[in-house]
Amino acid sequence: MAKLVAQNHPALHTISEEITPEEFTDGTVTKILKGLRTAIKEYQVDGFSAVAIAAPQIGVAKRMFLIEDQSGSPEERFPTIIAINPRIVKVSKKTHVVGEGCLSVPKLYGVVRRHTNVTLEAHDENGKKYTRGAGGLLAQIIQHECDHLDGTLFIDRAEDSWPVEKEQAKRTQEKS
């Protein structure tokens, strides 16, 4: 069973290795994907749901991430995306400052400047290459996860950050 690693784990601070053609067939990809799904489903913190996770977050320095939205109803969730050896091949000139949190930095929330639109090239779990565009929150998530694969945490990019408890209180007030 895969668990999230601590913020100081070396896999979170190194450039991840590409998944090799052999790893698509020898069970490595399947094993990492299973670990990502286990870890994302087990994550529960009041007021926050997991949306995506990268292999370094479970201690595996391989270029792979999973978007599997755990929030809201199934109709409101993002589609599941498995991205292996992903590359952002195009970004919009337009950027915006957006709120961000991270499973690997559970005590902080902050704001990061991200491109509003991106184009991603990656492989699926079967090794089939695909290209996908994304805007808004999905573009933000893709950039965040690709950062993990390059050893960058959101706090390395954050223009400002604060304790997650402050963010939870703010969200509770907004719901009242």
Structure tokens at 123: 């492989």
The residue whose two tokens read 């979170």 is 12
Distance, in Å, from the CA atom of 133 to the CA atom of 69, rounded to the nearest integer, reads 18
- Collapsing DSSP to helix, strand or coil, 170 comes out as helix
**165 flagged as catalytic:** no
What does the pLDDT look like over 29-61, one tens digit per residue? 999 999 999 998 887 666 567 899 999 999 999
Of the listed ranges 6-20, 23-37, 62-76, 78-92, the one predicted with least confidence: 62-76
Q: Name 3's Cβ contacts closer than 8 Å, sequence gap at least 6.
A: 39, 42, 58
Of the listed ranges 20-24, 63-67, 99-103, 115-119, the one predicted with least confidence: 99-103
Fold of 10-175: Peptide Deformylase (3.90.45)
More confident residue, 175 or 139: 139
More confident residue, 87 or 164: 87
What does the pLDDT look like over 93-148, one tens digit per residue? 999 999 999 999 988 999 999 999 999 999 999 999 999 999 999 999 999 999 99
Distance, in Å, from the CA atom of 21 to the CA atom of 19, rounded to the nearest integer, reads 7
Catalytic residue among 68, 145, 165, 167: 145
Structure tokens at 39: 């870890």
